[in-house]
């Protein structure tokens, strides 16, 4: 009986390890992929590789102007929800003005960066994975390598750079949208004046809050771009592989965004900021 239990446990662990390896890819491939990115970035900076400006501008447009409305809409609703929950509870204690503190700090430190990252993971991260997986399926990546081109410099670095640069800018619009959502609820439900809400928000929103949120958005942009490109380039060369790569990229991006946000929270708590 003990031998059968041991064999069953061993089989389950082996299946889980195989499943995890299939999901994440081999460690050698991941290390190689991570090592190629800084080398390709250095090659682009020293002009030993040609930077694909048309592709970079196209990706930047997709990550910025075309994603702005959905980012604003989502964060506007999140700010309104936070203000509504805060209004219900704070009104019980006659502290309705502090809803500005709740919405302002929550949006600037946490929710604006996280919700924008989640939206971009489902939008741009999925697009990166699907596009590169399709190129992998059509053997276009192999054709670039045969021509002697650095595929990391041509395909990966522009996408990661575009998302890393654009996400902090979207974070600024997300903060403004979240504060606007809180203002609409506070003035509509709690009869607070616009000047009182804005004065309280300006008083509570100090520089460290914005610094933390902006730093998070930069890291989230790099992480989403890296994850999308990784799953796109490691996809199987089938039609089903494109869908699997897209799904894995979105799920992994959101999970790693939450994990990284938790790490930021722990570091901020340890530093007292």
Q: Name the token pair of 136.
A: 């992998």
Whether residue 7 lies inside any domain: the answer is no
Label residue 99 exposed, middle or buried (CB < 10 Å: 0-12, 13-18, 19+). Answer: buried
Whether residue 6 lies inside any domain: the answer is no
At what angle are helices 27-45 and 207-233 packed, to 10 degrees?
110
Whether residue 206 lies inside any domain: the answer is yes
Q: Are 156 and 229 in contact (CB under 8 A)?
A: yes
Whether residue 19 lies inside any domain: the answer is no
Domain coverage including residue 210: 25-271
Whether residue 91 lies inside any domain: the answer is yes
Whether residue 114 lies inside any domain: the answer is yes
pTM for the model stands at 0.85
| Number of domains composing the chain | 1
Whether residue 5 lies inside any domain: the answer is no
Residues in the chain: 273
Residues 6+ apart with CB under 8 A from 116: 71, 74, 75, 167, 170, 171, 174, 217, 220
Q: Name the token pair of 16.
A: 């889980």
pLDDT score recorded for residue 213: 93
Rounded Cα distance between 185 and 199, Å, is 16
3-state helix, strand, coil in the chain (%, to 5): 90, 0, 10
> Nearest CA to 170 among 121, 106, 104, 230?
121
User: Which residues in the chain land under pLDDT 70?
Assistant: 1-28
Whether residue 196 lies inside any domain: the answer is yes
pLDDT score recorded for residue 28: 67
Give the long-range contacts of residues 84-89, CB within 8 A, separation 24 or more: 84/185, 84/189, 87/185, 87/186, 87/189, 87/190
Helices (H), 52-122: 53-63, 65-90, 99-105, 112-120
């Amino acid at each position: 009986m003990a031998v059968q239990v041991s064999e069953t446990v061993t089989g389950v662990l082996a299946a889980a390890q195989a499943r995890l390896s299939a999901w994440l890819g081999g460690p050698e491939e991941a290390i190689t992929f991570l090592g190629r990115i800084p080398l390709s970035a250095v090659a682009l900076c020293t002009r030993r590789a040609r930077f694909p400006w048309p592709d970079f501008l196209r990706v930047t447009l997709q990550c910025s102007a075309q994603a702005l409305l959905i980012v604003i809409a989502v964060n506007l609703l999140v700010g309104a929800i936070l203000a509504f929950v805060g209004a219900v509870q704070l009104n019980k204690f006659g502290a309705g003005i502090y809803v500005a503190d709740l919405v302002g700090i929550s949006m600037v430190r946490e929710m604006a960066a996280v919700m924008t990252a989640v939206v971009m993971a489902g939008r741009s991260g999925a697009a990166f994975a699907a596009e590169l997986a399709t190129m992998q399926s059509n053997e276009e990546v192999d054709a670039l390598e045969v021509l002697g081109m650095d595929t990391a410099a041509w395909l990966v670095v522009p996408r990661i750079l575009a998302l890393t640069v654009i996400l902090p800018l979207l974070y600024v619009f997300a903060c403004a949208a979240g504060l606007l959502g809180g203002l609409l609820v506070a003035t509509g439900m709690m009869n607070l004046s616009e000047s009182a809400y804005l004065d309280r928000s300006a008083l509570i929103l100090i520089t460290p809050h914005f610094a933390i949120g902006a730093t998070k958005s930069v890291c989230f942009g790099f992480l989403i771009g890296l994850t999308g490109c990784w799953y796109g380039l490691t996809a199987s060369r089938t039609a089903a592989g494109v869908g699997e790569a897209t799904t894995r990229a979105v799920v992994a991006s959101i999970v790693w965004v939450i994990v990284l946000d938790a790490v930021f929270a722990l570091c901020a708590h340890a530093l007292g900021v």
